[in-house]
Every structure is written in C-alpha cells, then in structure tokens.
Chain A
C-alpha cells in the first residue's frame, strides 16, 4: 500500500494507540460497585482471623486453644501442630545464588516465632467478631529470646535466628564487570559514602482479603485472591498445599492496589484455602490495616557502602558496592533477587562505568520479611548512584549536572539498555526546571533568609525481565513470557484473555486499545478479561512494569495471527487468493477492488459456521499466543525538583516537581502520566514521610497509619510532566514499562534538592525520610559543631 493513500491515513487516524481514552473501569468504581474481595459473600461463609506473635523472637512452649474454642460461633482453630504434617513450607520463588541458605518457613509456627506478626494460630468462626474474640483467648506460652533488627549488626550478633543459617547470613551473591581494582589504581581519588535505604510498608489502600471455597465433589478449590500473579500463585499454592494445580482456580476480581506487595505467597493464602477444605465451609480472611503493617511484606531496607574511583574531571572509572540487604525473618518470594540482581545490576544507573564490583549480604533479622515493592531494587540502585554522583560533584567541586553529563550513557544499545534518551531527558528536565537560572533564584531567596534547593537526577531500569533462559540462569523460578488468547465470537466481537493482571492499571482499557487498533474495530467490540486461571490457560502476571511490553505485545501478535487466519476465510468469500486479500477499517477486500468489502463479523461467522473452509484450516478464529521476549526494554527519565526547607522547623515543601520520562510509545498517555504521578508520590513518601521503626526488642513502632506517615494531599504539589519517545526495538509496539519509574526517580531527586538547600550548613547528606525533626536536628548539629555561614 502506498503510505500516501487517503484510506491508510484515515485508518491511522483511527488508531487508538496514543489516545487518552477514558477508562471503562471507572463508572463501576465511582458508583462504589467495585468487586473487591471483601465485598464478596458466599452462602454459608465463615470468617477467619490470625493470631500473630507479639514477640520478635521467642520459643513456643505451648499453645492452648480450649477456652478460645468455646467462644460461641467458633468453628475451629488451627495451630502449627495441627497442620505441620499436612502442609509444605512457604518457599522462595527466586534463589539468586548458588549457596543461598533457605530457613524453614512453616505456614504456622511450631517451635519458634521469628518476628512480631509471625503466624501462630488460625481461627475460623461464624462471624468476624467471634473469630476476633477467640483470638484473645488463645493462650500461648513463649520463652522470649533476644532479637536482632539491624542488617549489619545481625551478622555479628550472638543471636542465631535460624539454626540452619550461620551468622544470619543467607547468602552473599557477587556481581562484577571490568576490573575495579585496576580502576581504583588508575583513579585520582576514591570517594566513599554510606547510605541507608529506609524500610517501607507498601500500603495498598485495599488490605489483603482472601475468600476460599472448596467443592468436595470436584475436589476443587476456588480461591478469590488479590494477586498480581494468579498463575504463579496457583503453582505455589499447589506446591504448598500438595493439591494438583488443575484442581485450583484462582480468581482475581478488582484489586485495590498492589505495588508488588500482592505478588508474594503469604501464609494466609494457604491457611484460608486449607481451612475451606478442612472445615467444609467457604472461608474469608480480611487483613486489618495494622495487621497489614505486620504481615504484608515490606520493601527496601538496605545499608549500602559505595566506593567510586574517579578522575579529577569527574569521570567515574569504577565503582564498588557492598550491600547489606535486610531479608526479615524468612526469605520471601523474590527477596534474594531484589537486592542482588535488581539493585546491583542497575547500581551504575544511567552511567557508563566500566569497572564494577558488588557484594550483596542477604541478612536475616527478626523483622517482617522484605520483598519486592514498586521498583524492587531499582529505587535502591538509583538512589545509590544518584547520591554518589552528587557526592562526586561535592568533593571535586564540580556542577552535579556536569558530573552526570561526563558519565552518562549516550550510545545504544549499551550493556543491557536497548535504547534510550538518557542525555536528552536530562537536558529537557534542566530546561524545564530552569537549571541555569536557579542559582540566581537560590541566591535571592537566601538573601531573604529562605533556603531553596534543586535536585536533578536520572534514572533507568529494565522492564519485562527476559528471556526465560536468563531467568533460569538467575535462579528465578518463572518464565519471562505472557499469554494472550483471543476469542472471536461468531458475530465478530472479540474477547482478549490476558495473563497480565491489573490492580488499578486500567488494562481493560489499554489492552482494548491495542486490539481495537490491530483489528481496526471500535473499542466497544473488544472485551478484556484477566485474573481467572480457569479462563486463562497460562500466564505470568503484572510486576516489573511488564504488562505493556510483554502482555501488550502478546495481545498484538495474537491479533496479527487471528487476522492472518481470518484472511484465509475472507479469501473464500472474496473468491480470490489469500495474498490478494487486504484488511482495512474492519473490512476485507481485494487488492484489485476495495469497493467490494466484507466486514470482519461476516468472516467470523463463516469461520464459526464453516460451511466453506480454507484448505488445512480449523474452524473458528480463536488463537492463543504466548510471547516469550528475547530481551528487555529500558525506560529512562530525569526528574528535577525544587524544594524549600524551613530552617526553623525542618519542614520541607516541594515548590516544583518536573518529571521527564521516556517509556517509548505510550498506549494511553493519560494512564501513563497517572502512573508517573502515583509513582512519584510513593517515592516522595520514601524521601520525606515514611519511616518504618522498630525498637530494640523488635516491636514495630510504626504499626498503624497513626504512626506511619503516608503522603497526603496537603503536603504535595501538582506535577509538571513531559514525555520523550524512544521506541524500543525489543517489541513490535515500541513500548517500555512505566509503572515503577516515578518511585525509582523521586527519592534521590528530593534528597538531592533538600541537601542542596542545606548546603550553607555544611550538610551534604541526610538519610531518608527527611522528616522535619531529622532536618531540624541536622541544622542544629551543624550550627553547633561547624558554625554555619548564615
């Protein structure tokens, strides 16, 4: 076809790719008719509650349930002793190293509890209230043991958390390229820094809720689970319960946010399923918010040591990283890979650093298990390298942007980055924030006794971990693929079944946009289904910003295959060879005559009622395609922030936040921008507000939303966003991931800006979160010890 053809350009105008189509998910949710799991009821449904350890480390002497069992309405109580021979252990899905020591994690504790929140007993009762009442009456005798909380201290602590893990060190994976030692010899200087990447509580607004129903005749479990990865969850449930996978159906209705926290296997998943079978009743368990702080796995929690081998001009020749990654009390699902792969692979950030060595200490402590949380290793990596760049600038008395420019990757593909606009995005962010004009502005503010600062950082990541063989090499027990099944009804309407599983992402809209574009049909002709393992035969799920690059690509390629087959049927109706058939705007015609057209629906009808059939073809147009990508894509961007710090109170106010992001082709720009907004605020939460505090005994001090400060509307600005577009060649849509970008970028941008504002006090770095007391104390300390220039 001639690209100048008016028909083609008209068709292109009908493309839904790049259109900010309003979400079809919204009306139901706005009317409060969301199908969240806690809203669901089944006939004869019972309610469950979980007894948790009040101690961080203790030996269980006895568990007495007699009195609790007598509470009216109690159906039964499960203890560790009851189930220990009937269920397997919770096991990690990623074992990122040869010598990782995996401590046993029984579904309910038997001999010892290892953190405040560890599961001890599971009560099933007629009502929520009866279950809660019974919890109060279970008597557990504990012998309290010393607890260890800090990831560095744990390695030399006399406290041994698990007998099988010496020195509380579960493993020490290494990563290296080039020759750091040589780089260090050639460098003018070694610049060192220590960083704490603060532990975070993921806090999706919907706490976890699980509803299990077991049909004893089919011996089949139906489990409503708020999961990002239903097919993986089915496998893990099967492994732990010992029930075959085809007898487990995972259903995922609306999920109220996940952010990684809803992609791990939890003891409650197993207990609720087991209880439904054991007690012969549908069972629902709903997590309370304070319980979520103790039970839903945390994120980040690193202590990082960094050495940079630099030349005088700011070029970084080599980098050495030593990580202490807090694993919590057990090795959660992806816990070992998040620091040792996701963080150390990306710790050189957007920069070409030829010589690199990293050591990751995977450390067990008496705390809530730590696992992937939005960004999963890349926020820890980006914070590390961007704070390091600022430090290099500070030490060498260079402009921070100049140091970055000197080291930034400009040639693509580079190492594992397929493509990118690293330098361009930095220049764009600098232009939008008026980097050049800022120092004058800062000077003028200071003359008025006001302290403003600017931070400008770069980030990159890789999305859609692939290929599957590489996951195997990394010890990650899953594939890198995603599935798409297209079912074409005889009337020509289309339903997509995708393994991608949203928790607010808007897949029902964005995946429909991909298919409506491919089929050149109205959006209303396309239905999107996800989150049902009986309906969707195979899948991986939504994390790692992979839904569009992997799941979206699967949908696109599947559509191409459906159309290819449809053309064969169309050829019968058009009475021509298949290579003479063309398809435009939902209609088939011949290359010779585009006036005689046959709608897609007519061809679908023929395929469903195949009174004529292309030679060797099967009836119907349905198709399953599983896309197993050969490579990842690398979104990138640069975020620039101006803050003001009130030096009397330590309060930080964000004056401007500029986000420049490049995620290649955007399917729905409004949804992409929404991901940036939300991600940035989670990153701001880490930088300014969110502090997960344990006391020395291992009590979680920030155990509720009263004590753990999530970002709120009145402490935030509106954002300025801009998008660059460098389509990836690693998928035919040209899309890259976007979901984690903001969370990765915001912390170093904010901290950089605050530290810039505090420079007159000689403050170069403060660990997150930069709460008013922390900043205020640093200012007081600086004034007392060094004498400020104010």
Chain B
C-alpha cells in the first residue's frame, strides 16, 4: 500500500509520519499518533464524537483522510490554554453536561466553534449548532445549559476586562 508523507500540528505540537493514502484522519490521530482526545462513535459521520478543530473550524475527523490534513493545524479538547474551551469545560462539569463522556470531546469542540462565532447564542441556536453531535446519556438538556452558561461567563469576563 502506497504511503505519503504527512506533517501537521496537533494542540501546538508538530507531528510527521508516513501514512497510507486510505487512512482516515481520526485513525491516524488515534492509532498512529496516540492522540485519543477524539473518539469514534460511528462510521457514517453522524455522531460527531470525533469532532476536532481544523484551522479554526470544527470538523469531523472521520470525514477526511490523514493525507488531506497535511500542513494543517488541529486542535482537540486536550487543549488547555484556550479561554473558551476552559469556560466550556467548567460549565460542563458544573451543569453535569456529561455522563459517560464519550461524545464529550466532540461536543466541546463543536460548542467552542459556536461560541467563537456567536458569543451569545439562544437555546435554539445552541440546539441547532449541536445537531450533528449525538449524546445518548444526557438528553442534551444539561449540554445546552452548559454552553449557555459558558457563553454568559465569557461575556461577564469580557465585560469586566
């Protein structure tokens, strides 16, 4: 099987590897780079558990090949220095927005993009933004609440600054 050279950045760290052309980005991250802060929940791009941020936009890492990520900048929920992510993580815990935690990395990354684009989303806007991320434990109620509270707390910080 032919391989290709891929170099990319994940959470600020550069990686390079030879990759089979057919390998999905999510398998490359998890199997080859041991970056398991994105999960696999389906095989049809429905569930969103593998959502990462690719050059600032949320993407499902199962919908692209590793070779397509050459030269790109990837962020996962393992990022610890992002104020929006940190605020989301605080709210997710405070509002009990995760149970098994399997969808959580994807849920958090999709929410991060939403808040980066729309700092004051309504409940409907949050529900709409998360419709590509499936959670089987929480019934979404507390996720919606957590995203809303994270937005409010970021606003408060911004107002104070």
Contact check, B101 vs A719: say whether CB atoms are below 8 A apart: no
User: Which one of B64-72, B73-81, B153-161 contacts A?
Assistant: B73-81
Is B36 located at the chain interface by the 8 A CB criterion?
yes
Interface range for B: 35 or more
1/0 contact string of A589-619 vs chain B (CB within 8 Å): 0000000000000000000000000000000
Contact check, B139 vs A677: say whether CB atoms are below 8 A apart: yes
CA distance A36 to B145 in the complex (A): 26
CA distance A120 to B150 in the complex (A): 50
Interface positions, chain A 354-393, Cβ under 8 Å from B, are none
B41 to chain A, nearest CB (A): 5
Contact check, A290 vs B133: say whether CB atoms are below 8 A apart: no
1/0 contact string of B10-26 vs chain A (CB within 8 Å): 00000000001011000
Is A30 located at the chain interface by the 8 A CB criterion?
yes
Given contacts A23-B96, A39-B30, A681-B140, contact A33 B102 (CB under 8 A): no
CA distance A256 to B42 in the complex (A): 13
Contact check, A504 vs B101: say whether CB atoms are below 8 A apart: yes
CA distance A671 to B138 in the complex (A): 10
Closest to A25 in B: B101
User: Which one of A140-148, A151-159, A199-207, A446-454 contacts B?
Assistant: A199-207
Is B137 located at the chain interface by the 8 A CB criterion?
yes
Contact check, B37 vs A205: say whether CB atoms are below 8 A apart: no
B136 to chain A, nearest CB (A): 5
Is B4 located at the chain interface by the 8 A CB criterion?
no
Contact check, B31 vs A128: say whether CB atoms are below 8 A apart: yes
Interface positions, chain B 90-115, Cβ under 8 Å from A, are 92-94, 96, 98-105, 108
CA distance A17 to B20 in the complex (A): 54
CA distance A38 to B37 in the complex (A): 12
Tally of A interface residues using CB under 8 Å = 59
Neighbour of A713 across the interface among B1, B42, B100, B144, CB < 8 A:
B144
Given contacts A681-B139, A710-B136, A718-B144, contact A504 B41 (CB under 8 A): no
Closest to B85 in A: A30
B107 to chain A, nearest CB (A): 10
CA distance A719 to B89 in the complex (A): 22
Given contacts A678-B136, A678-B138, A706-B46, contact A671 B96 (CB under 8 A): yes
Greatest chain A CB density within 10 A among B49, B142, B143 is at B142
Given contacts A38-B40, A206-B41, A503-B100, contact A31 B134 (CB under 8 A): no
Residues of chain B within 8 A of A677, CB atoms compared: 138-142
Is B55 located at the chain interface by the 8 A CB criterion?
no
Residues of chain B within 8 A of A36, CB atoms compared: 36, 39, 102
Contact check, A207 vs B41: say whether CB atoms are below 8 A apart: yes
Contact check, A505 vs B139: say whether CB atoms are below 8 A apart: no
Neighbour of A289 across the interface among B42, B101, B140, CB < 8 A:
B42
Neighbour of A714 across the interface among B34, B127, B139, CB < 8 A:
B127
Residues of chain B within 8 A of A290, CB atoms compared: 42-44
Known: A32-B38, A289-B47, A713-B131. 14 other contacts (CB 8 A): A30-B104, A31-B37, A31-B77, A34-B101, A205-B136, A205-B137, A207-B40, A289-B42, A505-B99, A674-B142, A679-B139, A704-B43, A710-B134, A712-B132
26 pairs across A/B with beta carbons < 8 Å? A26-B98, A29-B101, A30-B108, A31-B37, A31-B78, A32-B76, A32-B105, A36-B102, A38-B30, A38-B40, A128-B31, A203-B136, A257-B99, A288-B43, A289-B44, A504-B99, A504-B137, A670-B96, A705-B44, A705-B47, A706-B46, A710-B46, A713-B130, A713-B140, A719-B141, A742-B139
